[in-house]
Amino acid sequence: MSSYTDAIASKGTYLSGRRTRIYGIIGLLVLLLLTIGIATSIGSVSIPLSTTFGILADRLPFVDIAHTWESTIETIVIDIRLPRVILAGLVGAALAIAGATWSRWTYSLRRTRLMLCPSFRYAIAPLPEPEC
């Protein structure tokens, strides 16, 4: 074997890279759940974070938690705040997709030298003239 393949095999880059990705995804999911819990508990009615997580966990299948909260608090969390948090996440995802699409489209305009009217091209985004 060459020295290059020996170096790759000794480092275990494939497995360590895969493990790192898995830990990263798990960490991001925990951060997402924590953000959802905090955003759901913040509002005009003060609801403790533990109560919010208890209400959300009680809705999971096969999870039975003793109800230590009032039904009005549960209604506020489930019917009012949680849909708003989910909708905000969907709007953020849609804006991220739109931004990525816009970025790729303007990049394509610069690289492929698409023949558009200059006034239309500069109305889209201030693009420099491509070099020949």
SS3 letters for the chain? CCHHHHHHHHHCHHHHHHHHHHHHHHHHHHHHHHHHHHHHHCCCCCCCHHHHHHHHHHCCCCCCCCCCCCHHHHHHHHHHHHHHHHHHHHHHHHHHHHHHHHHHHHHHHHHHCCCCCHHHHHHHCCCCCCCC
pLDDT reported for residue 43: 87
pLDDT reported for residue 81: 92
Task: Tell me the pLDDT of the chain (132 aa) as tens digits.
Answer: 555 555 555 555 555 677 888 999 999 999 999 999 999 999 898 899 999 999 988 888 888 888 888 999 999 999 999 999 999 999 999 999 998 888 777 766 555 555 555 555 555 555 565 555
pLDDT reported for residue 85: 94
pLDDT reported for residue 29: 94
